[in-house]
Amino acid sequence: MEPASAGQKLTDEPPSYDRHLADFGSNASSSFSPSDPWRPTTVNLPLPGPGNTLERVSSAPTRDVKEQPSSEETPPEYTRQDPNDNYYALQAPLVLSAATATGALVPRYHLSQLRSSTNQPYKLSMRRLTTNESRRLSLPDRRPKKVDYDDDLTLYLIVNTHALFPWSLPEIEIRGCKARTLQGHVELKKTTTAHQFWHITRNVTNDMLRPENERRLAKYGYHADEELSRELLFVAESVALLSKNKRWKDGDGVCVAEETAGTLSLVVDLTPQRKDALLACWAARCWLSGSLNW
């Protein structure tokens, strides 16, 4: 047994825990707050698989967060309807568009048709493609791409009433299915040299249920045509006799587009609503003539 140090009283009591930390704590740890050597420590073993901590790899390229990515890294910009698109090509069941005839064609619209039991065209629906669908269809791929038609996104519904009832009028009826489309409906009237598209809306002024129209109703009776307003929307006229090229004019006689071999080129600026209506009328005319098959 070792002798007691100078100035230390002989006692049978063991050294205290605090005295032990004071004598041996500095040797056990050199940190500012040494750990308790008498307490059991937990050991965290590494879990199998990828680590839970993120570490910077020295070999990885670094780039400032404020630096803008290059044009090769970002996909091309897409809008639901590019206002600069003035050239449209009909490649059933898609309608492609570009700024000019020499520009890159981008799928913008999707068509879907329903035929009658006698294989006659009965219904034609048109909708806009979504962002992902347009980008996916624009990528070059050897395998043919196909997208399913979404009925909830239908802009215009074109109905050929003669497919079921040959005596019904009008022959072609176009109805908007969204709030941003034309109100009422559009009727097609064919002549020997042109296709006329009439916009039919309700005339609220001549509504026979209004109190101010009761005397006229009692005197002349009810006429359904008086409650409707008819306005010439578009006219597709042949450029020359026996020519398949068409010149599209609005109700004022101003040429708005030119049709040539399955393509439509706008010559004036149109609002998005009238542009959708023009494309629906164009698709209806091609569909009725039999040039729109897939």
pLDDT of residue 1: 47
Residue 9 lies in a domain: no
Record the tokens describing residue 3, joined without a space. Answer: 């002798």
pTM above 0.85, yes or no: no
For residue range 174-183, list pLDDT tens digits in order.
999 999 899 9
Record the tokens describing residue 33, joined without a space. Answer: 């707050």
* Stronger pLDDT, 92 or 30, i.e. the higher one: 92
Average pLDDT on 19-33 reads 57
Backbone angles phi, psi at 133, to 5 degrees: -65, -40
Give yes or no for a contact between 96 and 108, defined as CB atoms under 8 angstroms apart: yes
Residue ranges with strand state E in 29-101: 87-91, 94-98
Residue 78 has pLDDT above 50, yes or no: no
Coil, strand, or helix at residue 282?
helix
Average pLDDT on 208-216 reads 82
Parallel, antiparallel or unpaired: strands 172-176 and 154-160: antiparallel
Structure confidence at residue 159 as a pLDDT band (50, 70, 90): very high
Structure confidence at residue 273 as a pLDDT band (50, 70, 90): very high
pLDDT of residue 141: 74
Secondary structure (DSSP) of 38-82: TSPPP--PPPSSS-SS----TTS----TTSPPPTTTSPPP--SS-
What's the structural domain count of the chain? Answer: 1
Coil, strand, or helix at residue 144?
coil
Residue 12 lies in a domain: no
For residue range 227-252, list pLDDT tens digits in order.
889 999 999 999 888 888 999 999 99
Q: How far apart are CA 128 and CA 94, in angstroms?
A: 10
Residue 143 has pLDDT above 80, yes or no: no
Residue 21 lies in a domain: no
Give yes or no for a contact between 89 and 127, defined as CB atoms under 8 angstroms apart: no
Residue 119: domain span: 87-289
Residue 19 lies in a domain: no
Residue 102 lies in a domain: yes
Record the tokens describing residue 289, joined without a space. Answer: 């003539």
Q: How far apart are CA 187 and CA 201, in angstroms?
A: 11
Residue 235: left (phi > 0), alpha (psi -120 to 50), or beta? beta
Q: How far apart are CA 198 and CA 233, in angstroms?
A: 5
Backbone angles phi, psi at 283, to 5 degrees: -65, -35
Residue 162 lies in a domain: yes
Residue 12 gets which letter from DSSP? S
**Chain-centroid distance, C-alpha 101:** 23
Residue 271 lies in a domain: yes
pLDDT of residue 218: 84
Residue 113 pairs in a beta bridge with 124
- Count CA within 13 A, CB hemisphere, residue 150: 10
pLDDT of residue 267: 95
